[in-house]
């Protein structure tokens, strides 16, 4: 209100009158105020709410889980960006459960919000349309690949990341490189495509036996590695879909009396904070998860402010971080 | 309101009348509504506020950091408990910075909240009194030992945990047991006291050289272990103040060509989710961090509902989880 009044060069009561459609404002003044309101991206409805009850002052962040370093990094990036903008972060974990989605939506509608950021929005999230109907601006992080193209969305260059990880292992001399993969998200499929493409460009035919799908958890890395080690011709290197799976690979190697990188090289994906703390420190593809959360937040704030985004879809670059877990194969 | 109406089998206007003490409701009906209200833990004050202005519908959680598994677990416990109560969680990270505390307080005062949960409230947090002046109910997790005794607070039995870790190592035959300690919080001091007491009860005089203070980060575990390994008579076992430090111990051992538990036994503290995923899987003292967050939330909700707590200070039990990183010393 004060901001609009200042920008339009009028008093706050005048802004209030214009917003509420009350008489007693000269046509030119009314037009000026309306223009400022339009430029700042306020719509009458939310402005009216702001007048009566105070802007929500908060943005909702919806993640699947909280106690997972990938989501923690995003949460941190979002919180820091909102904090600088003077906004609070309302955080909700859905555990991919439809009823939690519904209850979240009910709370948002009841108590209001300035916007919502959804991370890896899952199949239950048919609510995008409903949020828009309620006038809630939305931004996405790591879209699973099913949302409308005009919704602001931040991801990473997953294909390039998968390619770089595989190319690194090839350059060390590995020829039998396995990949442990994650759920069938867009990002996962792209990582696997990068892996296969790098193999093919090196003249190696990808083998279905060396690709192990599963969940983004350590248990998948553990189970898949046990199976890989039992192959007649086991891989000398394993590229995992995320860092947690790599912890599971370490465990399976340990149980088999093997070590990375002496016996098997391991490359992860994400570069979450724990990756550099592992022994051996994990070679991994860094995706700037925190920055992805921060950028999605900045895009959302611009949409809330009524600005037009140059591009609704942004991918941040991945980069290979070489540490201790990758080395040439035994001769 | 709708819930109370449904449970009492009356209309919403009737509930409203009862809540506001208006006439026109039969005594039996009034009694039924009041009973439902009492059973559901609503008190007239908050109900009245809810009627007039819309309850905030949210509770503020203030932590130091977000991307740290200790805080993630607490955040998760708080979020799950609030979600079940139909409330949203507003999450703020302070990074122990005074200006972030101030800005948080300003946002809380401007936008309102139903209550606040502070984790490890630090020296900047002179705001407890101010929160109370604004009528904001507060609960604490892991109080650093400086807050008024009537503020609801949840901790863990840290002394017992330190004692159990040390006793475990003694029972394996270790006599030279080092402790890597954390910042001078109440919880840390209690863990160290448990360590020293267990040594003394076994007839061993605690040696200042074997106690290494530092931060609750992997780097402290790493640096302290390097120093311990350089002692003329190095320890055969190391008890760390938290699990992150234990990761640093692993690294220092790895760099020195040593292994846990073959060369040095390691026991951590917290049992954060990653502890069981490490290789070797970490023997550690479990403190139920998530439950601590959940309990602090339940206590806060009772205070908000106007209930009286039997005890403002609660400590949840710690327990020793023996995994792979502890074994008898080399003969």
Strand ranges for chain B from DSSP E: 58-63, 88-93, 116-119, 138-141, 153-156, 177-180, 211-212, 237-240, 265-270, 283-286, 313-316, 319-321
Question: Could you say which of B92, B254, B280 has the minimum Cβ distance to residue A79?
Answer: B92
More confident of the two residues A238 and A25: A238
Chain B residues with beta carbon closer than 8 angstroms to that of A117? none
pLDDT given at position A31? 77
Helix axes A27-40, A12-19, angle to 10 degrees: 80
Mean pLDDT for A110-129 is: 83
Question: Looking at chain A from residue 231 to 270, which residues have their Cβ under 8 Å from any Cβ of chain B?
Answer: 244, 247-248, 250-251, 253-254
Question: Could you say which of B66, B79, B86 has the minimum Cβ distance to residue A72?
Answer: B66
pLDDT single digits (tens) A175-226: 999 999 999 888 999 999 999 999 999 999 999 999 999 999 999 999 999 9
DSSP state of B149: T
pLDDT given at position B125? 66
CA torsion sign for A278, A283, A284, A289 is positive
pLDDT given at position B38? 63
pLDDT above 60 for B210? yes
Could you give the angle at the alpha carbon of B268 between the alpha carbons of B266 and B270, nearest 5°?
Answer: 165
The residues spanned by each domain of chain B are 2-53, 58-155+289-316, 158-288
Give a three-class secondary structure readout of A113-130.
CCCEEEECCCCCCCCHHH
Chain B residues with beta carbon closer than 8 angstroms to that of A65? 76
Q: Are A198 and A163 in contact (CB under 8 A)?
A: yes
Q: Are B197 and B163 in contact (CB under 8 A)?
A: yes
Percentage of chain A exceeding pLDDT 90: 69
Alpha-carbon distance of B299 to B142, in angstroms, equals 14
The pLDDT confidence band at residue A36, using thresholds 50, 70 and 90, is confident
pLDDT above 60 for A247? yes
Alpha-carbon distance of B316 to B296, in angstroms, equals 11
Q: Please report the DSSP string for B260-312 in residue order.
A: TTTT-EEEEEE--GGGGGSSSPPEEEE--HHHHHHHHHHHHHHHHTTPPPS-S
Domains B58-155+289-316 and B158-288 share a fold: yes
Helix axes A289-304, A69-84, angle to 10 degrees: 40
Question: Could you say which of B66, B251, B280 has the minimum Cβ distance to residue A76?
Answer: B66
At residue A146, the 3 state secondary structure works out as coil
**Subunit contact B88:A107, Cβ cutoff 8 A:** yes
Alpha-carbon distance of A73 to A56, in angstroms, equals 25
pLDDT single digits (tens) B213-236: 999 999 999 999 999 999 999 999
pLDDT above 50 for A51? no
**In angstroms, what separates the C-alpha of B228 from chain A's closest C-alpha?**
19
Question: Looking at chain A from residue 191 to 230, which residues have their Cβ under 8 Å from any Cβ of chain B?
Answer: 218
> What rounded mean pLDDT belongs to chain A?
90
pLDDT given at position B49? 41
pLDDT above 70 for B250? yes
Q: Is B107 exposed, middle or buried (0-12, 13-18, 19+ CB in 10 A)?
A: buried
CATH 3.30.70.420 fits B2-53, yes or no: no
For residue B180, the tally of other CB atoms under 10 A from its CB is 30
pLDDT single digits (tens) A52-77: 334 789 999 999 999 999 999 999 99
**Subunit contact B274:A274, Cβ cutoff 8 A:** yes
**Subunit contact A244:B110, Cβ cutoff 8 A:** no
pLDDT single digits (tens) B52-71: 334 789 999 999 999 999 99
The reply to whether A107 touches chain B by the CB within 8 Å rule is yes
**Subunit contact B93:A79, Cβ cutoff 8 A:** yes
**Subunit contact B90:A90, Cβ cutoff 8 A:** yes
pLDDT given at position B257? 96
Question: Looking at chain B from residue 61 to 90, which residues have their Cβ under 8 Å from any Cβ of chain A?
Answer: 65-69, 72-73, 75-76, 79-80, 83, 86, 88-90
pLDDT above 50 for B48? no
**Subunit contact B110:A58, Cβ cutoff 8 A:** no
- Beta strand pairing call for B88-93 and A88-93: antiparallel
**Subunit contact B57:A111, Cβ cutoff 8 A:** yes
Question: Looking at chain B from residue 154 to 193, which residues have their Cβ under 8 Å from any Cβ of chain A?
Answer: none
Please choose, from the candidates A83, A61, A73, the residue with its C-alpha nearest in 3D space to the C-alpha of residue A289: A73
pLDDT above 80 for A269? yes
Please provide the CATH number assigned to the domain covering A58-156+289-316: 3.40.50.2300
Alpha-carbon distance of A21 to A5, in angstroms, equals 16
pLDDT given at position A125? 66
Mean pLDDT for A170-176 is: 98
Mean pLDDT for B84-100 is: 93
Q: Chain-centre distance of CA B181, in angstroms? A: 18
pLDDT given at position B165? 98
- Max mean pLDDT among A320-329, B92-101, B148-157 falls in A320-329
pLDDT given at position A47? 36
The reply to whether B92 touches chain A by the CB within 8 Å rule is yes
Chain A residues with beta carbon closer than 8 angstroms to that of B251? 277, 279, 281
Alpha-carbon distance of B225 to A324, in angstroms, equals 20
Q: Which residues have a Cβ under 8 Å from the Cβ of B330 and sit 6 or more positions away?
A: B236, B262, B263
For residue A214, the tally of other CB atoms under 10 A from its CB is 19
pLDDT given at position A48? 37
Q: Classify domain B58-155+289-316 at the CATH topology level.
A: Rossmann fold (3.40.50)
CA torsion sign for A129, A132, A136, A138 is positive
Mean pLDDT for B37-61 is: 58
Stretch among A278-292, B137-151, B198-212, B231-245 having the lowest mean pLDDT: B137-151
Chain B residues with beta carbon closer than 8 angstroms to that of A76? 65-67, 93
- Beta strand pairing call for B237-240 and B177-180: parallel
Say if the ipTM goes beyond 0.85: no
Q: Which residue of A has its CA nearest to B103?
A: A86
Residue B243 tokens, joined:
């699990």
Q: Which residue of A has its CA nearest to B57?
A: A111
pLDDT given at position A129? 79
Mean pLDDT for B183-208 is: 96
**In angstroms, what separates the C-alpha of A104 from chain B's closest C-alpha?**
8
The pLDDT confidence band at residue B46, using thresholds 50, 70 and 90, is very low
Q: Which residues have a Cβ under 8 Å from the Cβ of B277 and sit 6 or more positions away?
A: A218, A244, A247, A248, A251
pLDDT given at position B39? 61
Chain B residues with beta carbon closer than 8 angstroms to that of A103? 83, 86
**Subunit contact B111:A251, Cβ cutoff 8 A:** no
Please choose, from the candidates B86, B18, B43, the residue with its C-alpha nearest in 3D space to the C-alpha of residue B306: B43
Superfamily of domain covering B158-288: Response regulator (3.40.50.2300)
**Subunit contact A247:B79, Cβ cutoff 8 A:** no
Residue with tokens 């214009």: A18
């Amino acid at each position: 209100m004060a901001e609009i009044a200042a920008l339009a060069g009028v008093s706050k009561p005048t802004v209030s009158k214009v917003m509420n459609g009350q008489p007693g404002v000269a046509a030119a003044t009314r037009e000026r105020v309306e223009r400022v309101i339009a430029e700042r991206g306020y719509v009458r409805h939310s402005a009216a709410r702001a007048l009566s009850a105070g802007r929500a002052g908060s943005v909702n962040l919806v993640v699947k889980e909280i106690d997972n370093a990938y989501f923690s990094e995003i949460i941190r990036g979002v919180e820091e960006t909102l904090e600088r903008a003077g906004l609070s972060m309302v955080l909700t974990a859905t555990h991919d459960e439809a009823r939690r989605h519904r209850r979240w939506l009910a709370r948002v509608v009841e108590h209001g919000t300035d916007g919502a950021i959804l991370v890896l929005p899952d199949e239950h999230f048919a609510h995008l349309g409903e949020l828009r109907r309620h006038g809630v601006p939305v931004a996405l992080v790591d879209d699973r690949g099913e949302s409308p193209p005009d919704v602001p969305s931040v991801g990473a260059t997953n294909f390039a990341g998968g390619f770089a990880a595989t190319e690194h292992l090839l350059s060390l001399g590995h020829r039998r490189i396995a990949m442990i993969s994650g759920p069938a998200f867009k990002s996962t499929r792209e990582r696997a495509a990068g892996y296969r493409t790098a193999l093919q460009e090196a003249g190696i035919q990808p083998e279905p036996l060396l690709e192990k799908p599963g969940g983004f958890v350590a248990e998948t890395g553990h189970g898949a590695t046990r199976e890989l080690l039992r192959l007649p011709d086991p891989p000398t290197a394993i590229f995992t879909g995320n860092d947690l799976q790599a912890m599971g690979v370490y465990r399976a190697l340990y149980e088999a009396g093997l070590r990375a990188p002496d016996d098997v090289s391991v490359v992860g994906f994400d570069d979450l904070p724990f990756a550099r703390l592992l022994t051996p420190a994990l070679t991994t593809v860094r995706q700037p998860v925190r920055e992805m959360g921060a950028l999605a937040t900045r895009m959302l704030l611009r949409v809330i402010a009524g600005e037009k985004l140059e591009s609704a879809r942004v991918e941040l670059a991945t980069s290979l971080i070489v540490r201790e877990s990758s080395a040439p194969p035994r001769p």
